[in-house]
């Protein structure tokens, strides 16, 4: 793979992670508004908010794992010397795990 292709892949990865971060931040704000605040007493608003939250978190999880997988294809995680790209890949997968746990907690609140 040429240096220019690697730069394009890195640019695509960084833009994808910006979108994932934005979706996650919006989801956390909506969690504060619809689950933690007194708005959770209103069933329709709470249900609508939780569905939006789950949609955003689902998109963030899908986008994060797909972008990370595409980026990690050429950067084998457990072979060769450790570098900053491998650290980013590892922490991106850990972030996907936290998004998944957040989805499970919102689902738990949805069916209470």
CB 67 within 8 A of CB 13: yes
Average pLDDT value over all residues in the chain = 86
Instruction: Indicate the domain borders of the chain.
Output: 3-110
Q: How many CB atoms lie within 10 A of CB 100?
A: 15
Name the pLDDT band for 74 (thresholds 50, 70, 90). confident
Between 110 and 25, the more confident residue is 25
d(CA 104, CA 112): 13
d(CA 40, CA 16): 32
Q: What is the pTM of this model?
A: 0.86
- Check residue 76 and give its pLDDT: 67
């Amino acid at each position: 793979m040429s240096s220019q292709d690697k730069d394009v892949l890195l640019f695509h990865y960084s833009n994808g992670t910006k979108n994932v971060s934005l979706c996650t931040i919006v989801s956390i704000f909506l969690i504060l508004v619809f689950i933690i605040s007194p708005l959770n007493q209103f069933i329709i608003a709470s249900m609508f908010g939780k569905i939006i939250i789950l949609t955003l978190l689902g998109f963030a999880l899908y986008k994060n794992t797909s972008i990370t997988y595409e980026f990690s294809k050429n950067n084998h995680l457990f072979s060769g010397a450790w570098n900053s790209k491998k650290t980013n890949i590892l922490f991106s997968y850990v972030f996907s795990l936290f998004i998944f746990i957040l989805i499970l907690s919102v689902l738990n609140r949805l069916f209470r």
